[in-house]
Each structure stands twice: as structure tokens, then as C-alpha cells.
Amino acid sequence: MTAPQQSPLLAEDAELTRVATGAIWAEGPVWVPRRRAVRFSDIPNNRILEFSEETGELAVFADDVEFTNGRTLDLDGRVVECSHGRRAVQRDTAVGPGEAYAPEVLVDRFGEHRLNSPNDLVVASDGAIWFSDPAYGIKRAEEGHPGVEEYGDRYVFRFDPTTGSLLPVVIDIEAPNGLAFSPDEKLLYVSDSSIEPADRDNPAPDRPRGHAIHVYDVVEGRHAKNGRILTEVSPGLPDGIRVDVDGNIWSSSESGVQVFTPDGERLLDLPVPEKVGNLCFGGEDGRTLYIVATTSLYRVRTRTRDASSGRGPVAR
């Protein structure tokens, strides 16, 4: 499609290619090694799609999926994902080719209150699931079901699937969205998409409006401390983010993919023809960047891999 600017982050012959299309708003991509495929959501159509790298074909993986959004792999290689409709974090118990989609809810309540609409998540090397919980799925009819913020705010949580413990770890971001750890898990990055309020018709006038990537020190593997703004993303806002093995942050934006150093210096602007919602590394060697952008799935070859590729015994 297009040859992006030369960059040490991209393969020498890198070319941005659209490999599939047909979504309304594509989100939540993850590379599933056992299926040699990228799985992602088409949220308004309430379905999950999969692009097979082997066949080059896009197929509907599942319909009526309760408006799933962000997803990742747990340490056993199973897909863990966010459900706006169920207001939950869930795990797909199907793992092999040909097995039917079978999600099980892992957590859907904070004490007595239902979660808002979990949006994105990351799994740490101890197996804990850190996830963001903004309000898009209960404020936008095309992304979920109407509802109220029962615990009264929007947090990032840490869920321990072994003990069932659920603790808020980030409470100072208005609309927490994409999440990623640094390679050593000493830093947590959180994107704030509050410049685009969940309730478009009735935005709260006294709530903050931001479009920055925030960074936190991770203490004892379970606490997020000393939050600060790393960088603002413009045009648009940061939605899904990933961190590579060198610690660089790859962020979605309205114009394409933007890459930043751990100090917030912009290294790369990769233009994409459609507004980017999220991205993930994948392919057989982990060096292909897959990008979900509004209606389509794009890919480009890079010289790096996801930081989590060396974290934990992920079954292949």
C-alpha cells in the first residue's frame, strides 16, 4: 500500500499493507500463536474476527459476543479479553484450532458493584491481570448496554485469578484505556482517552479532558505509584498501546501509529489511512505489527517484538 519513512524500528523493506476490511470499529487485536492468526473485535457489529496469516483470509470467529474489546494472552497462551456487554474480564477456554468460542467470566464486580465496561488489559509475569475500566460500554449504545457507573468512578484494577483479589491500582485518570508494562515490569503505561467523553451527549463539565500516556512506578509487583504524564498524543488520542523489547511505546492515534522512547521522545510517525484504535505484535517471529484502524486490519514488518514475548512461559 505505502512505504513508510525509513526508521531503525522498521524492516528495511517495510510496507504498510491492508490485509482485511469490513468492520465498523475494529479493536482489541491479539496474535494467537496456536491458530497463527490475529483475533480482534468489530465492536458495533458485536462479533469477533480472525485473520489467518496462513491463508490470508478474514473470518467471523464468533457472533453475539457481548461487545468484546481489548484482549491479550495469559501465561498459558489462552485469550483473556474485556467484555463491555458482560461488564467483565473473561477468558476463552477454547485453545486449539476448530474449538468453539467458550468464554468464562473471571471478574465482573468490585465489591457489591458491577464494573463499568472493562476496555483493555495486560497480564503480568505473576499471572495477575491488570485492566482498565472506563465507561464507554455503558454510555454508548453501539458499544454495549446502557448502564450506570455503580462504584462511581473509572479505575485501573489488578485482578489475581489465583486468589480472586481485585484491587484498584490507578484512580487518577479520567478515562483509562490502553495498558502496557515496560520490559522489566517496573513501569506501567496507561493511556487516557478522556478528550473524547464516553457520554457524548451529556459530558460532565467538571471532569478532566486529556489525551496523554501516563506512566507509573510499579512497586512490589502490585502497586502503581508516582503517576506522571509521559507524553501527549496528537492528533486524536492514545487508545491501544504496546511496548517493545527495548522499552519503546507504540501508540494508536488519529493519524496512525506513534512511537515514543521511555522518556517520551517521539521516534516514529507511521501514517495509516484510517483512525487507529489498537495494535499488536505478531507473526511467526513476533516482528509483524498488526494495526486495527476503524474498518480495516493493516500490517507492517518491524525489527522488534513485544516486551511480553520474553515474559512468562506462554505455551505455543
> Residues 219-231: pLDDT tens digits?
999 999 999 999 9
Q: Which CATH homologous superfamily contains domain 16-301?
A: TolB, C-terminal domain (2.120.10.30)
Diameter of the chain by CA atoms? 54
Position 83 scores a pLDDT of 98
pTM of the shown model: 0.95
Q: What are the residue ranges spanned by the domains of the chain? A: 16-301
> Does residue 311 surpass a pLDDT of 60?
no
C-alpha cell at 308: 511480553
Tell me the average pLDDT across 76-92. Answer: 97
69 is in an annotated binding site: no
pLDDT category, 93, cuts 50, 70, 90? confident
Tell me the average pLDDT across 78-105. Answer: 91
C-alpha 223/C-alpha 268 separation (Å) is 31
C-alpha 25/C-alpha 58 separation (Å) is 15
Residue from 92, 239, 244, 306 carrying the catalytic annotation:
239
C-alpha 157/C-alpha 146 separation (Å) is 22
Tell me the average pLDDT across 156-169. Answer: 98
Element (H, E) at 60: strand 58-63
Position 309 scores a pLDDT of 75
Residue type, 315: A
Specify whether 239 is catalytic.
Answer: yes
Tell me the average pLDDT across 55-67. Answer: 97
Position 4 scores a pLDDT of 67
Position 312 scores a pLDDT of 47
27 is in an annotated binding site: yes
Position 157 scores a pLDDT of 98
C-alpha cell at 314: 506462554
119 is in an annotated binding site: yes
